[in-house]
Amino acid sequence: MKMKSKEIQVTGQETWTLFRLENDQGMSVHFLNFGGIITNISVPDWNGDSENVVLSYKNFEEYMENPGYLGALIGRVAGRIKQASFQLEGKEYQVEANEGEHHLHGGEKGFHQQIWEASPFENDGGIGVTLSHKSSDGEGGYPATIDVTVTYTLTDDNRLVIDYFAETDQTTVLTLTNHTYFNLSGQADTTIHDHTLRLNSSRFAELDDELIPTGEWINLNDTPFDFREQKLLGSSLSYETTQQKAANGGIDHFFLLDGKRKPDIRLEEETSRRTLEVETDQPGVVIYTSNNLPEGKFLVEGKTRKYSGVCIETQSSPASIHEAGFPEITLSPGEPYQSRTVFKFGIGATP
């Protein structure tokens, strides 16, 4: 296994560091200390040919704005906060309204726009980098000073392990995730219609037409979002139902994980036969099929467009701020935030 790094000079910006991790099986992971952005994950297909299986901008400058949050760490709160406001311990807090009247993914200067301190390491478990950031009280409108670390570890059995840890000095809200877009074909100019998905969930949060949870849960029975058995992802990419229409012709929903069968999530692409298995201790996941991805940005291959990739955003739910019955995101002093998500890449059985 080996690790390399190099400096990236972006016009008018500070210098970023690009880390490259590579194991002995031909898998590599590249990411920036800016936003913790994953810019490349290359894994072999059934022929042994390695290709990048995540959406990546052709020019690093595109990550300066990154309207689609490609590859980025998301925080303080992943997802949407209704009306960009919430109450904690009897006090009202107003955060940035950066998507209409609502708050999305930590705001314009969220964790995806921060330069993180980086500490590389190598141990028996693999090689990786720990990224650290101190978010001050009032940053983005959020209460409390929090110390956050996110660790990326590459193992020799083709696992990318993401560990999240945070401590706060007063009560606040926090739920972190990673916003990488996967396209296992290795061909970013294709769509994800031919991927198949298995998702161990029996219900998802209903959305209104502004993608805000209504507070109701929908049972997956007889819906296009029932992926409890491996099923073609393309079958859900339409405007057939009210919930598909709300998400602009696909999925952008929070699914509550059952936790009864592992892996929690399994994605496969039939031509390359690449597989991605995801295991997490988070209570749920947002599956996002890039229905609203800003189009026309130059990628390493092709341009961004609708259905270019699928995000697997393991997290808790910001809907819990306003609605009962959702997994909580409150963080208190003396009770650290700690979570792990594992992305394991492999090759499926011969058809």
Rounded Cα–Cα distance for residues 264 and 199 (Å): 6
Q: What angle do CA 16, 154, 61 make, to 5 degrees?
A: 25
Interacting residues of 68 by C-beta distance below 8 A, sequence separation 6+: 181, 290, 293, 294, 297, 304
Give the CA dihedral 183, 188, 191, 193, nearest 10 degrees. -30
**What CATH number should be reported for the domain whose range is 2-347?**
2.70.98.10
Residues tagged active-site: 179, 313
Do 298 and 288 form a contact (C-beta atoms < 8 A)?
no
pLDDT tens digits, 1-54: 999 999 999 877 789 999 999 999 999 999 999 999 999 999 999 999 999 999
pLDDT bin (cut points 50, 70, 90) of residue 71 is: very high
Pairing between strand 159-168 and 310-315? unpaired
Region 81-104: mean pLDDT is 97
Distances, alpha carbon 223 to alpha carbons 219, 233, 239, 309, in Å: 8, 13, 13, 22
Unique residue bearing structure tokens 């200067």: 109
pLDDT tens digits, 109-119: 999 999 999 99
Do 337 and 174 form a contact (C-beta atoms < 8 A)?
yes
pLDDT tens digits, 197-216: 999 999 999 999 999 999 99
Q: Residue 351 above 70 pLDDT?
A: no
Residue 2 structure tokens: 């080996």
What's the confidence (pLDDT) of residue 188?
86
Closest to 177 in 3D by CA, of 77, 94, 92: 77
What's the confidence (pLDDT) of residue 33?
98
